[in-house]
């Protein structure tokens, strides 16, 4: 918006709009609080500007210590971010001169002199940004928003955390982390979530390698491997062991036999996941590589997913060979982790996006396309993998969310950028390796000047991809965008009536646009919406999501994450699942057995009760008992439909009772003959004649 002429005119006239005056008072309070804060958009102290010439003359600071980190790096880089330098310190009201105070002024119309409303800049608290700080600063500067790198007492519109939702207490605005996301994408939790979906939809979730959880399933792992070997003596598998809480390739190793697992007491202290190793990956220049793809989870309810149009391809630094006992320990051949390969003598830093040990994914796709590969099919398979993975994660995320931000209480809205690590097999099938809750957003790499002495060097590949992801995430989350657009639309009508059509055409042709657009100078959004855009193709997979809604309904106490015995009995009773063959005593025994086993497997002992995954196991048991002749996913869908049906009747009855109670009239019987018939059929395990209400299990209900 063309604010400078308007603000100058307002100062000369000695008048300000009421809304602008309110923002000015808030800005003055912020300056007083932060101690002579520079009002030029960065929010840094004025001494920074005075120290710039001294920094230019001073010798270079001591280089950072070695040890590049990819995920969860907590270091804060002190060098100034790359990119164009910011404007000299000028506040929106100062124009380089002290603002006069005490002038009497009339109430203005709330419109600037050039005819446009004043909209304050979006404020971003970056005090917890950590590794994403440089890329975030560039993004905020490009958007012309206002950054608060040291935080502030007044609320900000957006809070950018580096690691966790709990980095600080927030009661409003938007925060770039979901509660529970860090726990959900750990290797054990992710494997369990995907395994549930594999049980329901084995063909749809075959993009995740078969996994076993250690130490709980060590014996099962050994027994199943031996069983396959007995059936096929020529089978010579390779497995990869990954510590549950590990990152940057720490603790990962390959084995050929279950007896090779390192059992020296570490599994009890540091559980792990063991997976089938993908022995035939796609190679480029004889090197194995993976893809880091950035995914924005914009909203949980309703579910909204965006995928970045470009990502990073990270290459090994030693030519690939299929695993043998001799090369199992060659980490530069088998592991694509950037934080490992950067220490290889063959790691290549390149300013080109299509060469070196880290390249853009688009350059890899271009190269594959030149060889005749169907790139649209590759992208379609990757997007399908992303959507299915997020669908597997969202049920438990909902439980975390209602625990930290209960309905009806003040709290922020959440969004989060996730890092998906994907491997392409030789046949171009994408395989999910892992999901990172805190993907590194560093836009530089370390270069060794001498043994043990490193310096940070800008990485053009990282900057091109990561700055676009952060900037466009902020654009999508812009809390003032609708207000800005509505004000522009309101102004278009009166301005159009005042202007002569010929003058308007002349102005448009000379300026290139008829009204200011803050996004006009920015590239197109690099994030593509994939859900709910493709929701019709994937909604049938959201059975566990519907189970989570039932689970949350019967939790009872706000803020808890585990279902007590009373809540489970209420669930059984309200959904009418008890019968002569399933007494309430049997329900209690089922609750105790499953809850006890899951509590012994999980390390979270904050409160007792049935966790969501234990509830899902109990739900599977009840579904298989009630609908015996159907596949598992249809059994589960039928039981969900039955529960939702009875609960909808209960809610309707309570609503009628509430209305009748206020009127002082006894409520009539609300059920109909059709409803009674449907309920009886469901109770017997048959399909009711109500396809509109029970839509997810079409074979079962036909």
Encode pLDDT of 525-563 as tens digits. Answer: 999 999 999 999 999 999 999 999 999 999 977 678 899
What's residue 644's pLDDT?
Answer: 96
Query: Does residue 301 contact residue 398 with C-beta atoms inside 8 Å?
Result: yes
What is the rounded CA–CA span in Å between residue 10 and residue 4?
10
What's residue 696's pLDDT?
Answer: 41
Query: Does residue 44 contact residue 146 with C-beta atoms inside 8 Å?
Result: no
For residue 387, give the nearest of 538, 526, 528 by alpha carbon: 538
- As given in the structure block, the two tokens for residue 517 are 């657009």
Query: Does residue 338 contact residue 314 with C-beta atoms inside 8 Å?
Result: yes
| 250-298 confidence digits (pLDDT tens) | 789 999 988 888 765 566 667 899 999 999 999 999 999 999 999 999 9
Residue with tokens 């950072």: 64
The per-residue b/e assignment along 629-644, b for 16 or more CB within 10 angstroms, e otherwise, is ebebbbbbbbbbbbbb
> Strands 158-161 and 123-128: what pairing?
parallel
pLDDT over 90, % of the chain: 48
pTM of the model: 0.77
What's residue 119's pLDDT?
Answer: 73
Given a cut of 70, is residue 102 above it in pLDDT?
no
Residue with tokens 């299990």: 697
Angle 593-224-187 from CA coordinates, rounded to 5°? 65
Q: Which of 52-56, 175-179, 422-426, 641-645 has the lowest mean pLDDT?
A: 52-56
Q: Which of 182-196, 403-417, 539-553, 687-701 has the lowest mean pLDDT?
A: 687-701
Q: Which of 30-34, 43-47, 270-274, 298-302 has the lowest mean pLDDT?
A: 43-47
Average pLDDT value for residue range 320-326: 92
3-state DSSP call for residue 461?
A: helix
| 107-117 confidence digits (pLDDT tens) | 444 454 454 55
What's residue 164's pLDDT?
Answer: 67
For residue 437, give the nearest of 77, 28, 72, 9 by alpha carbon: 72
More confident residue, 354 or 683: 354
What is the rounded CA–CA span in Å between residue 74 and residue 139?
20
| Residue 432, C-beta contacts closer than 8 angstroms, at least 6 positions apart | 194, 207, 208, 385, 389, 420, 421, 422
For the chain, give the mean pLDDT.
78
């Amino acid at each position: 918006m063309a604010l400078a002429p308007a603000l100058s005119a307002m100062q000369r006239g000695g008048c300000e709009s009421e809304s602008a005056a309110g923002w000015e008072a808030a800005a003055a309070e912020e300056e007083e609080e932060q101690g002579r804060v520079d009002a030029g958009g960065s929010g840094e102290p004025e001494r920074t500007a005075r120290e710039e010439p001294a920094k230019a003359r001073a010798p270079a600071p001591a280089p950072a210590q070695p040890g590049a980190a990819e995920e969860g790096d907590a270091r804060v880089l002190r060098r100034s971010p790359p990119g164009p330098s910011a404007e000299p310190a000028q506040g929106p009201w100062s124009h380089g001169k002290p603002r006069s105070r005490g002038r009497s002024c009339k109430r203005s119309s709330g419109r600037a002199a050039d005819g446009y409303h004043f909209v304050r800049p979006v404020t971003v608290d970056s005090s917890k940004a950590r590794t994403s700080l440089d890329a975030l600063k560039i993004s905020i500067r490009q958007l012309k928003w206002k950054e608060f790198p040291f935080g502030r007492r007044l609320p900000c519109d957006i809070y950018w955390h580096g690691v966790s939702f709990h980095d600080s207490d927030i009661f409003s605005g938007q925060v770039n982390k979901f509660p529970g996301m860090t726990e959900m994408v750990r290797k054990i939790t992710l494997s369990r979530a995907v395994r549930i979906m594999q049980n329901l939809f084995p063909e749809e979730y075959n993009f995740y390698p078969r996994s076993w959880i250690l130490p709980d399933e060590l014996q099962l792992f050994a027994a199943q491997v031996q069983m396959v070997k007995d059936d096929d003596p020529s089978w010579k598998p390779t497995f990869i062991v990954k510590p549950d809480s590990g990152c940057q390739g720490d603790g990962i190793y390959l084995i050929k036999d279950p007896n090779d697992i390192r059992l020296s007491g570490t599994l009890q202290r540091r559980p792990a996941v063991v997976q089938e190793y993908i022995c035939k990956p796609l190679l480029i220049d004889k090197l194995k590589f993976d893809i880091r793809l950035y995914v924005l989870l914009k909203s949980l309810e309703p579910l909204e997913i965006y995928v970045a149009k470009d990502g990073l391809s990270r290459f090994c630094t030693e030519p690939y060979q299929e695993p043998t006992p001799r090369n199992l320990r060659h980490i530069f051949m088998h592991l694509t982790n950037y934080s490992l390969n950067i220490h290889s003598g063959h790691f290549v830093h390149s300013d080109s996006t299509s060469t070196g040990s880290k390249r853009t994914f688009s350059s890899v796709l271009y190269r594959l396309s030149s060889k005749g590969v169907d790139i649209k099919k590759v992208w379609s398979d990757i997007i399908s993998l992303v959507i299915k993975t997020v669908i597997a994660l969202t049920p438990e995320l909902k439980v975390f969310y209602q625990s930290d931000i209960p309905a009806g209480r003040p709290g922020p809205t959440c969004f989060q950028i996730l890092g998906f690590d994907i491997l392409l097999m030789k046949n171009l099938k994408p395989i999910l390796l892992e999901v990172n809750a805190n993907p590194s957003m560093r836009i530089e790499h370390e270069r060794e000047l001498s043994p043990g002495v490193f310096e940070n060097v800008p990485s053009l590949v990282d900057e091109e991809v990561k700055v676009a992801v952060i900037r466009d995430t902020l654009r999508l989350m812009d809390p003032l965008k609708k207000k800005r657009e509505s004000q522009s639309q309101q102004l278009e009508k009166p301005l159009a009536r005042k202007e002569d059509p010929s003058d308007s055409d002349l102005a448009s042709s000379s300026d290139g646009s008829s009204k200011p657009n803050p996004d006009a100078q920015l590239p197109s959004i690099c994030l593509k919406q994939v859900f709910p855009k493709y929701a019709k193709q994937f909604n049938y997979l959201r059975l566990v999501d519907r189970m989570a809604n039932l689970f949350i309904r019967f939790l009872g106490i706000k803020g808890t994450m585990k279902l007590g015995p009373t809540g489970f009995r209420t669930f059984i009773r309200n959904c009418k699942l008890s019968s002569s063959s399933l007494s309430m005593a049997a329900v209690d025994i089922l609750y105790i057995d499953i809850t006890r086993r899951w509590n012994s497997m999980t390390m979270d002992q904050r409160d007792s009760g049935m966790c969501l995954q234990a509830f899902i196991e109990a739900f599977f048991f009840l579904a298989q008992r009630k609908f015996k002749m159907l596949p598992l996913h249809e059994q589960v869908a039928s039981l969900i439909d039955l529960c939702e049906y009875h609960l909808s009747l209960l809610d309707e009855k309570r609503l009628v009772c509430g209305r009748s109670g206020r009127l002082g009239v006894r409520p009539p019987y609300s059920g109909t003959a059709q409803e009674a018939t449907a309920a009886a059929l469901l109770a017997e395990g048959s399909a009711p004649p109500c396809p509109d209400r029970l839509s997810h299990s079409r074979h079962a209900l036909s």
